[in-house]
Amino acid sequence: MVELIVDDIMSKVSDHRAHVLMLKEKGGLRRIIVALGLLEAQAIVFALRRVDTERPLTHDLFGSVMGAFGIALEHVLINDISDGTFRAVLHCSQGGEAKDVDARTSDAVALALRAGVPIYIEDELLNRMCVRSETNGAISIPITAADEGTLRTALENAVKEENYELALKLKEEIDSRHQAVPEPGEDKTE
């Protein structure tokens, strides 16, 4: 596992309601980008800036409820990605017993910041999904990290630019997300 720290939160230029969270490897150069909605971004910014509100916000309330029932958040682990969406697990303990809770990555980060606990990612996942800086200040992300809409737009652009090698890679990624999954008991070898 590799520890991550919050590097930046940015508004997407094309849609100011959408944001991205940049998480950086602690003491390293690798980064991942997590897509956020406005409310999720606000929750993380409030936690980073230690903004006090008159009444508890959802993440504050959840932390208080956990504390009231003797549940301690030990750390957060980003452990998977599916269709461009990172998945996370809250590693908790209660009375000496370890408990894992599935969570949205944005919620997990907001809770970790409030609780002052580390955020980790599987090393293999970080290697596979880390962003790379380009010379013009842009960043590139692996195609497996992009949502399907982004992939389809990139595919159209690759075809227009006659970059058929890239178009093929993008089409293969889109197609891999739509492979039929057999029903339980269904024989796929006919």
Which helix H or strand E contains 156, and what residues bound it?
Answer: helix 148-160
Look at 124 and 186; give whichever has higher pLDDT: 124
**Most distant CA atoms of the chain, gap in Å:** 63
Q: Please write the tens of the pLDDT for every residue from 163-179.
A: 787 777 778 777 777 76
Q: 77 phi and psi, to 5 degrees?
A: -130, 120
Q: Please write the tens of the pLDDT for every residue from 57-75.
A: 899 999 999 999 999 999 9
CA dist 140 and 143 (Å) reads: 9
Task: Spell out the residues 6+ positions from residue 148 whose beta carbon is closer than 8 angstroms to its own.
Answer: 83, 84, 174, 177
User: How big is the CA angle at 33 (ends 32 and 34), to the nearest 5 degrees?
Assistant: 120
CA dist 21 and 86 (Å) reads: 12
Q: Please write the tens of the pLDDT for every residue from 91-114.
A: 999 999 999 999 999 999 999 999
Round the average pLDDT of the chain to a whole number and report it: 83
pLDDT given for residue 190 in this prediction: 44
